[in-house]
Chain A
Amino acid sequence: DAGVIQSPRHEVTEMGQEVTLRCKPISGHNSLFWYRQTMMRGLELLIYFNNNVPIDDSGMPEDRFSAKMPNASFSTLKIQPSEPRDSAVYFCASRYRQGADTEAFFGQGTRLTVV
């Protein structure tokens, strides 16, 4: 398996534009997490899914952020409209199942810069 795949690796966009980040989890994993990493706040959990259903989105900063998981092999994190303070590295991670004592595997991240 190629691991968790995120795209794009880098994204530079202008303030006010819509940004969509994509994630393909490891095949067979049914828990998926979106994290944001910044110097200011470290590694923050934004939302996580179990069996494609959002379980906890309490970390989503505001209504400008939304996440979907239409099927077991794909998830998106969308920011609309984007703002400079959204600049960060966004990580997606997947895990075998919610209750398993197994680690979450991380993608390489998407570095987002909003100018």
Chain B
Amino acid sequence: GESVGLHLPTLSVQEGDNSIINCAYSNSASDYFIWYKQESGKGPQFIIDIRSNMDKRQGQRVTVLLNKTVKHLSLQIAATQPGDSAVYFCAERGGGTSYGKLTFGQGTILTVHP
């Protein structure tokens, strides 16, 4: 049969708008989460992280929200700029038997229009 690639979620915004990128994680025992940004031709780069005992953490222009009840993460980018255009990944550090294991979500493509 024919194989299909991943259909990454996409988000298209205007420069200056706020962006919200969502991620569902899989392991209820995961205790640490990271958002990464990946630009074309480069490896993923760290944006912000959050421990499982927190529900919100703010950085410069970015905020991460964690809802453990529904295993959901979001990344909010304020005043989005064209340089923010990239693929964004959430990553979870496994707990229990998967302790230390860092696994990634499928990614979201963010496009910022000037």
A binding-site residues for B, Cβ under 8 Å: 4, 31, 33, 35, 39-43, 45, 48, 50, 55-56, 91, 93, 95, 98-99, 101-109
Interface residue count on the B side (C-beta < 8 Å):
26
Which of B16-24, B77-85, B96-104 faces chain A?
Answer: B96-104
Contact partner, B46, options A41, A98, A103, Cβ 8 Å: A103
B68 on the interface (CB 8 Å rule)? no
| B43 in contact with A55 (CB, 8 Å) | no
Inter-chain contact total with CB atoms closer than 8 Å: 61
Which of A4, A41, A48, A103 is B100 in contact with, Cβ under 8 Å? A48
CA of A93 to CA of B38, assembled, Å: 14
**Is B101 a contact of A56 with CB atoms below 8 Å?**
yes
Contact across chains for A42 and B106 when beta carbons are under 8 A apart: yes
CB-CB < 8 A to A99: which residues of B? 99-100
B70 in contact (CB, < 8 A):
no
Closest to B105 in A: A42
Also in contact, A31 and B43, with CB within 8 A (given A39-B6, A40-B3, A101-B49): no
Q: What is the CA–CA distance of A40 and B91 in the complex, to the nearest angstrom?
A: 18
Flag if A45 contacts B104 (CB, 8 Å): yes
Q: Is the CB of A108 within 8 A of B43?
A: yes
The smallest C-beta distance from A98 to any residue of chain B, in angstroms, reads: 4
- Docked Cα-Cα span, A18 to B36, in Å, equals 32
| Known A31-B100, A101-B49, A108-B42: A41·B6 in contact at CB below 8 Å | yes
Q: Can you pick out 6 interface pairs between chain A and chain B where the beta carbons lie within 8 Å of each other?
A: A4-B43, A40-B4, A43-B89, A50-B100, A98-B100, A108-B43
Measured CA separation A56–B6 after assembly (Å): 25
Query: Which of A39, A40, A103 touches B49 (beta carbons < 8 Å)?
Result: A103
